[in-house]
Structure 1
Amino acid sequence: MTDQRLTDQQPPHTPRSLIVTFYGAYGRGSAEAPAGPVPIASLIRLLGTVGVDSPSVRSAVSRLKRRGLLVAGRTADGAAGYGLSSAARELLADGDRRIYGRPAARSAQGWLLAVFSVPEQERHKRHLLRSRLSRLGFGTAAPGVWIAPAHVHEETRHTLERLDLDRYVDLFRGCHLGFEPTAASVARWWDLEALATQHRAFLDAHEPVLRRWARRRPVPPEAAYRDYLLALDSWRRLPYADPGLPASLLPAEWPGGRAARVFAALHGRLRDAGAQFVGAAPA
């Protein structure tokens, strides 16, 4: 699940973002049995649970359809609905590894360098390339030289090939040999304070939710769905803004690990109960 923006606080839960989050969490089915179109009436009810009104749902769906992420269709009983395009399914699948279980990077794994050159007559591609590398979590080592932990290599290659940007880029894997300490370089390549602020904002918003759920038995499906969708909508941007930098290179008391544990606990506690609410939603 992608579509991230780097901000210094928890971003607002926009209708479009919540719809993408909903499809990523509950609207895909499985690889063997992809889900069909979600009835628009069900989508309106389900998004209403997290505070999105009907006109906003319809407007956001129209925008996502124009972008080629949603496609109109009919359910088995003939109701009008919207399903994911093949491109959208691929984008969501690409995001799963980061959002739900990215591995912790280690310094010994080294770094991935992306060095690019775009002809002047195609300079619009330069902006797209910078934007995409930023969204993948790359930091800027020098003009035209971007850096990320080595574990994002396959995702980077896949993304650049899908967007037909690979012909402008050379990828290298290697180690940082100096001259300043690597931790000091990392602090130049990424805005660590801005990233830490994002993690703390997530914790401020969702750690109290986890504490409430830790005391709550049983798990009411509607409340689980609401809290999980909002947590996922906030969380899914963070593993891109922060690509999983090695802990040994980060400041003391880095909040990223705690934020990841809070999301993982909410996911484990709420996701399946929320699916019960989605499955019971009338068309």
Structure 2
Amino acid sequence: MTADIAMSSFQKKESTPFSPDELPMLAGRPVPLKHLSAGEELFAPGARTDDIYGIVSGWAYSYRLFEDGRRQINAIELPGSLIGVASSGRDGAAVGCATLTPVVYCVYPRAVLFGRVMSEPALGLRIVSEVVRQEVLIRERLSDVARRPARERIANFLHELYCRRRISGPLDRPFSIPLTQSHIADALGLTPIHVSRTLREFKRDRIATYVGHDLQIIDPGKLARISTLDLGYTRWLAGSGQVTPVEPAAPPPHGASMRPVLEARPG
């Protein structure tokens, strides 16, 4: 793909999320793909880096470590994610980023990418939209942590991941999430006991269950119905025109709301 073709793609898609295929050309010329195994770090908390990272394939998470060793997971990074856009990197990153699965990624020098933005406003719009999308995710997570019980927090978290991952490419069926109970607890401010109890309920209700080390979503429709995520919010995260709501196949229990599941629109 040439730079001109790549930029034409950026202009047509306006504020939609980046696809993994776009990332290697983001700086205007192909950048080499790098590889990490599961459990490795793209960068550690406090590392001085002036680079921006793009996830081409695999799962990672951004996190912060506190003085007493506790971990707070700030974001789950999926294919298409840009990491480090909002950080200057000069005084050391406040967060680190580690892989959950084998990951393929790109690295862009900040000056090179931002120099491209100065000459290509359409790319700048896409990057700003991505930063805003990340901020909205954080605000929604804070609302969950502050006001919602464990069942709603976990349902919203899993539903959000399902919707986001659906956008970046076809999903395996059943859909598997490579997160341990500790990861979920650290992302949602819950104790492992609360997470374990809730996931036992999800297994009983045939919503989700662990198969090996991955959490498998058995019934996305049931998950959507118990989630309290707003449809407008999930559609906005996806970008206009990229997804269409589909009603869950099974009818909801008496008194429950119908919450559509996001499915990819055929291209």
Over alpha carbons, which structure has the higher Rg?
Answer: 1
TM-score by length of 1: 0.27
TM-score w.r.t. the length of structure 2 is: 0.28
Higher relative contact order (CA 8 A, sep 6+): 1
- The structure in which a higher percent of residues are helix is 1
